[in-house]
Amino acid sequence: MSRGDNLGEKSNVNLPLATVLSRRSLFAVVAALAALLGGLLFERVASAASYADVIESVQPKIVKIYGAGGVQGLEAYQSGFLVSGEGHILTSWSYVLDTDFVSVTLNDGRKFQAEFLGHDPRVEIALLKIDAVELPYFNLDDSVELQGGDRVLAFSNLYGVATGNESASVLHGTVSAASDLAARRGAFETPYHGPVYVLDAMTNNPGAAGGALTNRQGQLAGILGKELRNSLNNTWLNYAIPVASLAQSIDDIRAGKLIPREPDENRAKPIEPVTLAILGITLVPDVLDRTPPFIDRIRPDSPADKAKLRVDDLILFVDDHIASSCKTLRDELSYIDRINIIRFTIQRGQELVDIEVDPSN
């Protein structure tokens, strides 16, 4: 057999991806599994509706998302789905959203500029909003839980195949296992270690992250995760994160808990606030609308150095306030007096780590 294969550029395609996948979560937050919902009772009932009919009813809820990327190996698109009639969209939190110009194309071809409502780095989801009403949507309260052996459909714009009014791609398969991703710890570079549905279909292709996993009847069960490569054997995991594992995060985002604080004139600022320079931290160049605050350099013997912060750490929270970009990180610091000890939550490789830095040190 001759494999006429000249796709030899595998490794350099994967490099930037690894960076993207390395945002991780420490808080092993797994929301207590929500109460079983009415729809669940009927999940196992053989349905007369054909796949084609089910798919037709689901497609209007699926959206195509375009944002940052487009450079070598990084697709500038991903998938998402509507979770309210007023244009709330659930998707994966990724570099694609690192811009103020995220656009969303509905199944009917209508295009919208999306507002970034917030994200939870711990489960790697984000909530967007578009200015529209009376949209078809998945009611998150009606989502279903799955078990191994359940038939599923995966809706996503993998490979960016669909544009404009073209419908998302649909793959079918079954749940191979409902399991904790942590079970494969060490093999997969991901901050998420909670429950996942492992799928026997090739669902997690480039651009598929943020897509919807439904059961045979088209009821929402999970969100398709980012691409995950097993570094031990170079295989790829196809999986979705159950809606129940995201419920708390979604509630937090909606409640405004995971939104960077707006600059507030009434909030007292210290006369001598702490700065990155005092801490000895240099961030990566702030080139995006929402540049992730990765540490680029650390001055030797600085407070940051002594606290054992490292180059390539990604700062997620400052004293429990989310720092979603270089700019919001600087804003947060401007409210902190330089005599105070600061608690950073950072992502380091696969780990989420809390580190306290004493600026006077």
Binding site for another protein (CB under 8 A): 1-10, 13-14, 38-39, 41-42, 45-48, 50-56, 59, 73, 109, 142, 153, 158-159, 161-172, 201-203, 205-206, 217, 236
CB atoms within 10 A of CB 2: 4
How far is Cα of residue 60 from the mean position of the Cα atoms in its chain?
22
* Cβ proximity of 357 and 304 under 8 Å: yes
Q: How far is the CB of 310 from another protein (least distance, A)?
A: 29
Q: What share of the chain is helix, strand, coil (3-state, %, to 5)?
A: 20, 30, 50
CA–CA distance, 304 with 312 (Å, rounded to integer): 13
Q: How far is the CB of 202 from another protein (least distance, A)?
A: 3
CA–CA distance, 81 with 64 (Å, rounded to integer): 8
* Cβ proximity of 312 and 353 under 8 Å: no
Nearer to another protein, 39 or 273 (CB): 39
Q: How far is the CB of 220 from another protein (least distance, A)?
A: 12
Quick one: tokens of 321? 């306030």
For the chain, how big is the Rg over CA atoms in Å?
21
Nearer to another protein, 58 or 316 (CB): 58
Q: How far is the CB of 301 from another protein (least distance, A)?
A: 42
Nearer to another protein, 58 or 323 (CB): 58
**How do 195-199 and 239-242 pair as beta strands?**
antiparallel
Bridge partners (DSSP) of residue 116 are 128
Nearer to another protein, 109 or 263 (CB): 109
Nearer to another protein, 164 or 186 (CB): 164
Q: How far is the CB of 10 from another protein (least distance, A)?
A: 6
